[in-house]
Each structure stands twice: as structure tokens, then as C-alpha cells.
Amino acid sequence: MAVFKGTLREFNDYVGPLARNIVANMARKLKAHTTCREKGCNKRKPLEAAHIKGKDRPTIIATILSDYKIDHDLYEVDLEEFKSKFIAQHQPIEDVILPMCKEHHLAYDKKHKIESELPVVIDELVNEEGQNTYTEADLENISSLEFKSLEKAIKKFSISDIKDKISKELNLAKQQISVSNISDSNGLWNFDINKSKFAQDFAFVFYDQKAQTYKISIFEGNSLELSNFGEKNDGQVVRFFVDANYQDKSGFKFSIQ
């Protein structure tokens, strides 16, 4: 789904780091990369991913990009497609990449007249003894956790945007507005609201995060019969579980604005 559209320079600036990252990830999986591949060189850190002659990164990228040229210096690239073609061009990785120290990488490139490319360091997560400081599973796990935090942060922002908007529209203080997503666990809108808030005007906001739409139900101060609803924290907090028909577990039906 992701599509890049822009000039060669822009492609290089934005997609170049992704390409280098792919090479680093693939090269990390090379089993025996503990020392530089140059005969007699025992240097083990840092090691760069030297592209073997004829398989340098700019050539690989240019070959793939030629299919996506839509105008003079304008490219439109399906990034998923680019990624899988780029990976395919690096398989098997031992035929494309030589782990080398900086000195021997430069010497290799010079000898074979390989054009300059930004170095890709393949052992930045390796300690002095040459052991990985993270396993592949660790890295995958961390990366999925990072994505989850991003999703969570985005959700927070959309809820705070909605609150801002409704607060202005209804001229209601933000602490008198409660926004709920549809819960992943029970499929209902869940609200836990401090009882004291219902002494003043209060707005429930039923947010459908998939459709990105919401409905509002407003109550004047002291107009809601709280004893009908569930409670927690010794009755300090009133709990609401609201279904798609805006009906609470207790049977109470919210009237929507």
C-alpha cells in the first residue's frame, strides 16, 4: 500500500536508509562473520558489509528503480515491491556481501573499482568478544513492542483531539468529558467515571476507533440516577458498559445527541 513518489535524490534520502537497514539485517544473519574476510586480517569489530563486485547497492537499486520511472527524474514505487525485489537481489546473502573491516572494505572497493557507498556496519549489536548482544527474537520482539507503543500513542492523540473539539463545541470543561474506544476485550464502550463528576454537566463520548466517528450523550448535573449502574472503589467510581445500541449493561439506554 505504501507508495513513494519523487525524484531520485528523494528516493535516495528516504528509502536509502531503509535499503541499508535491510542489508544490515540480512548481513547480521551471516553465520561466520566474526572476523574480516580478508585473508590474514583478524579484525572483528567494527565490520562493514562490503558488496561483492557487480552487486553493489547503487547498481541493485538502479536496476530495480528503472521499472518505476514515470517521467524525467520522477519515480513512483510500490515500497513493498521494492523491498521484496531488493531482498531477492541480496539472496543468498553470502554471494553478495563480504563482512570486512573498514580498511579492507576500502581496498576491496578500490581494487574492483566499486563506486562509493555509505558504509553499512553489520555488527553494531555485537560485543568485544564477537557475541550478539541481542538475539534475532529479542529484536523482533522489541520492534513489535515499539509498534504497539506507537499505536497507543496515536490513539491517545486522537482521543485528546476529540476532547478538545467537543470541549469547544459544547463549552464544557475537558474533565467533564469522557471518551471511550470500543474495547478490544469486550467489544463495548467502557467508562469508569468518578461519581462526583455527575454533579455537573457531563458528556459521554462513544468513539468508534475503526470508523473514526463518535456519538455524544450529554447529562445535566445530577440528572443521572447513579444507583442503577455498576460501581467500583467502594462506590466512588461508576462503571458503564455500553453496547452498539447505546444500551448499558443495566438496561439504561443513552440518548444520543
Which residue ranges make up the site for Zn ion (CB under 5 A)? 36, 38, 41, 43, 50, 101, 104, 109
Strands (E), 109-212: 177-180, 189-194, 202-208
CA 251 – CA 224 distance, rounded (Å): 14
Q: Which amino acid is at 98?
A: L
Calculate the alpha carbon distances from 53 to 31, 69, 156, 184, 235 in Å.
Answer: 21, 26, 49, 52, 74
- Output 38 or 123, the one with its CB closest to Zn ion: 38
- Output 24 or 166, the one with its CB closest to Zn ion: 24
CB of 87 to Zn ion, least distance (A): 19
Closest of 198, 225, 37, 32 to residue 126, by C-alpha: 32
CB of 92 to Zn ion, least distance (A): 18
Closest of 141, 251, 244, 233 to residue 194, by C-alpha: 233
- Output 120 or 159, the one with its CB closest to Zn ion: 120
- Output 36 or 218, the one with its CB closest to Zn ion: 36
CB of 121 to Zn ion, least distance (A): 12
CB of 85 to Zn ion, least distance (A): 20
